[in-house]
Structure 1
Amino acid sequence: MSNYATRRRALLWEDRASENALSDQLATLQEDIANRPLLPIVRQRGELATAAAAAVAPLDAARGTCASADTEVDATLDNYKAALSRLLVEADELRMATTWALTTEILTTEQMVEMLAAGKHLYLSVHDWCRRRKGAAGALQQLNGPSAGTADNTSAAVTRNP
């Protein structure tokens, strides 16, 4: 087996191992989101809402508890957001390391140029698609007015992902 094929196979196995590790981390994060501490907080808020509906006097106490629960939920979601952000950074680093290894160790110069040109074409196509979609969402919003919920949601989604 040639050195090229050996390195290609090794890169494939390294990538699979790294991808599996990232997938495991993401699965753990998703399980943590579902299990704790959000689930008990949501249950507690449901119980407080039920109690508040039963009597007006406990309503003020329930509001105070709900406010502290909201703070706890916000803090928990911030932790999950930070963990997810770290996972995305690790995934980007894996993609960059794989691309670097592919271009410097495996591909010929001609193949490297073709890959980079295809990557640039993909980038420009996605950028153009986002620009057209954002323009269409803006035009739809002008036609329907600012109260059209779907145009605002679409425009916001496109703005976050240019």
Structure 2
Amino acid sequence: MSEPGALRTKLNQLAREVVKFGAVGGLGVLVNMGVFNLVRNTTELPVVRASLIATVVAIAFNYIGFRYFTYRDREKSGRARELSLFLLFSVIGMVIENGVLYAATYGFGWDSSLQSNFFKFFGIGVGTIFRFWSYRTWVFRALPAPEEKEAVQAAESFLEHAPRQATRRQPDRV
């Protein structure tokens, strides 16, 4: 495949991935905001605690969507590793997301319902940038392309046979 054709293919794959990530993420935002407002308006919990509960619910929802929709074609071995990394990066995203809300609420005193929802939504956006990068890079890694797989297999085969060839080498004659 030509270099421009390969680039176009990679860009098309990235665009599809972004659309799928956005679809799951968009539903996750609705879950997050819905649970946030439900908890905030029906309990006496402080704003950031309500947000943390909502974020945890959304993280669970998003894992299912990402694993079985967005990244269903990605490597499936090592589910414990995948889930551990997903939770690690989700917690970092949760800190980013709720750090924005915390700063707005307790740093600036912006704690009306409208302001809380705005900063919750803004924090989700900032956290999403981090999550997209980390999930695609570390959690749901792409399987190697067929050409890459063949190259890796050839290299492994070469390395596997290289030591044997070296031991059979005849001594140099003077």
TM bin (shorter chain): 0.3 to 0.5
**Highest RCO, 1 vs 2 (Cα 8 Å, sep ≥ 6):** 1
TM-score with structure 1 setting the length: 0.36
Task: Select the structure of larger CA radius of gyration.
Answer: 1
Q: Which has the higher helix share?
A: 1
